[in-house]
Structure 1
């Protein structure tokens, strides 16, 4: 499995983000490319501890039960459900969002595990660095494939 912390794998993700254009169209789902970029920033902010989220008891319980199934799958399924805080319906500045996402992705390779400030995921509960790594790589890969990158 590729790693968001590995400099070569991290650069591959950045190169794929750089291949996106304002004209990029989704192969599935409803998001536009600018919404997808903004959407991908939010879970990174959760890991970095700059976006505090809380899930209700039922969602935390469900998340703990589904964590290993999701993290042990080869990829996210198309049109998978997402947290309400991550849903994007507005328009976003494409270039600014792209730049911000790239800067945040770079932090994983530059800072390594110390980039992760939040050990508790709002849905999955306690997470190891390896679990955060897999989750972020899978999430970014999923959405870049969605936009054919």
Structure 2
């Protein structure tokens, strides 16, 4: 299954349009997160890509992530509803909807502007070097899953 290419303006603009359909009161169709928490949760992927605010996994944990988790994150199979997530992605406190929405849109714009060649064979926070297709899958699939969770 080939996913839409998040690095293209058309696809990133479509994702941003979906994000712009969200409101602070948009209810989840499943799961426990509020819409603001979901946006913050989606921002973690980009924080791990662009910021240095999450500790990198040690050698053993990175081996476990590459061996057992990488395929689920970068492979084509859709995420299951209510599946487990890494501790860094757990958002339990209240978040500001507008702040998280603006951050996510800015991260998407930056990702699209950098383009797929920037990401080809770039090291990820948790999985080692990824191809541009694996980066695309990781970025797009996660956003699509959670935007679908909120009906957009």
Please indicate, yes or no, whether the TM-score normalized by the shorter chain is above 0.5.
yes
Q: TM-score, normalised by structure 2?
A: 0.86
Name the residue aligned to 2:110: 107
Q: Is the 8 A contact 2:7 2:116 kept in 1?
A: yes
Give CA deviations for 1:57-107 in whole Å, capped at 9, x if unaligned: 443223222323543333111122212112101111111111111111111
Q: Is the 8 A contact 1:107 1:115 kept in 2?
A: no
Gap runs ≥5 in structure 1: none
Give the paired residue count. 149
Q: Is the 8 A contact 1:47 1:132 kept in 2?
A: no
Does 1:141 find its partner at 2:133? no
Residue 136 of structure 1: how far off its partner (Å):
0.6
Does 1:73 find its partner at 2:76? yes
Residue 46 of structure 1: how far off its partner (Å):
1.0
Relative to 1, partners in 2 of residues 1:79 and 1:59: Cα closer, same or farther, differing over 3 Å? farther
Q: TM-score, normalised by structure 1?
A: 0.87
Residue 14 of structure 1: how far off its partner (Å):
0.2
1:1-149 residue pairs with structure 2 within 5 A?
Answer: 1-66=3-68, 67-113=70-116, 116=119, 119-149=122-152
CA distance in 1, matches of 2:53, 2:28: 26
CA distance in 1, matches of 2:15, 2:104: 10
Gap runs ≥5 in structure 2: none
